Amino acid sequence: MSLVSLLLVAQLMSGCENLPEIGADTTATDAAPSPAGAEFDPSLCPVVETVVCAEPEVKVVERVIERNFEKIVEVPVARDKLVLGSEEYFIVEPGGVRLKALVDTGAATCSLSVLNLTPFERDGSEWVRFKLGDGEDDESEQIELPVKRHVRVARPGFDRQRRPIVNMSLTVGEVTHMVEVNLVERGEFEFPLLVGRNFLKDAAVVDVSLKQVQSKPKMPSFSK
């Protein structure tokens, strides 16, 4: 803004009492002041122009935030099924031997480690004779069972084995099932019994983060 414009605004605010002549030397100090009591002439004031400022342009930006939520699906579990840990104690019949078992959902059938596994023939049918113990003492039960069939089992680092399959009764907690069990002759072992899917599919669900969920197995009582 020029100096002249500033002076005009200042004079307008003060009533234009000492309005200098436009173009006059504003730096002169010998300008005669207005006589005291002189009448104010409004025509000497500059015309006031109304200035309207333009409104600033406002841009509205719509922001959309997408959120992904984890979907939780509840899987129903049958109430009449047991919950088993990765390790449980089972009672095996015949023999009534209590064994520490590894619950293996990757195995199709149950597997039992025995001693002195010997095949023989009885009444024209194939049978097997073996000893079964819990590994905690020297006593073991001698068991004889008919062979239902044979299965070939492949283990990493070992030759394929031909194993006999027999029917045996397995009890965990208060649940007992008769299932097919393949027999294998082994020496020292941590888990003499491996429980596979043929037992689990009708009896239990497995929580691999737990161990020994079920209490001591209880043999079923038969009324006479």
pLDDT tens for each residue of 97-152: 999 999 998 899 999 999 999 999 999 999 999 998 876 655 788 999 999 999 98
Domain contains 218: no
> For the whole model, what pTM was predicted?
0.60
The reported pLDDT for the residue numbered 48 is 65
- Give the span between the Cα atoms of 175 and 170, in whole angstroms: 8
CATH number for the domain harbouring residue 183: 2.40.70.10
The reported pLDDT for the residue numbered 31 is 47
Cβ–Cβ under 8 Å, residues 214 and 103: no
The reported pLDDT for the residue numbered 26 is 47
Q: In total, how many domains does the chain have?
A: 1
Domain contains 201: yes
Domain contains 162: yes
Domain contains 152: yes
Q: Which residues of 111-146 are buried (b: 16+ CB within 10 A; e: fewer)?
A: bbbbeebeeeeeeeeebbebbbbbeeeeebeebebe
Domain contains 48: no
Domain contains 94: yes
Domain contains 28: no
The reported pLDDT for the residue numbered 186 is 76
Provide the residue range defining the domain that includes 102.
82-206
The reported pLDDT for the residue numbered 214 is 85
Domain contains 17: no
The reported pLDDT for the residue numbered 147 is 96
Please identify every stretch of the chain with a pLDDT value under 70, giving residue numbers as ranges. 1-49, 51-80, 135-138, 155-158, 187-189, 202, 219-224
